Amino acid sequence: MKLGRLALCHFLVAVACMLPGGSSVLAADLVSMLTQNLGVTQQQAKGGAGAIFDYAKGKLGANDFSKVAATVPDMDSLLSAAPAAGGAASSLSKLPGGAGSLGGLSSLAEPFSKLGMNPDMVGKFVPEILSYVKSSGGDAVMKILQGALM
């Protein structure tokens, strides 16, 4: 009987995510995952994820980015939560491994700093976001995003 109730709960959660407005449940999952796993605030999670997706948007073609965006509910709200990027690559060069260890992602140092996070948090956000995209959109979509970030 317990298994039946558990299956019913999973079914109801899946249905709720398909209802109008249910996508915010999944977006909250990404933000919750980041806050829990990385110890950041909700604002930092939204802004950091938004900055990373905005970076990827600039590296990907419109078709590829739309595939990534389709796996992340409320992508627009995440993108709008991202602080503007600038030229703060020099901040990352002070990190162990230097800016080269994050490649082009060094441009995210300034938005992350504006959110009150150290630039090394970029390297902690990326695997979490890739994991989320893989679980919600599959391996192919995750690889598209990974190609833009690596």
Helical packing angle, 139-149 and 121-137, nearest 10°: 160
- How far apart (Å, rounded) are the C-alpha atoms in residues 74 and 26? 9
Give the pLDDT mean for 108-123: 93
pLDDT-derived band at 39, boundaries 50, 70, 90:
very high
Is 0.85 topped by the overall pTM?
no
Mean residue pLDDT of the chain comes to 77
- How far apart (Å, rounded) are the C-alpha atoms in residues 110 and 51? 10
Residue with the bigger pLDDT between 106 and 136: it is 136
- How far apart (Å, rounded) are the C-alpha atoms in residues 90 and 69? 30
Residue 132 has pLDDT above 60, yes or no: yes
pLDDT-derived band at 85, boundaries 50, 70, 90:
low
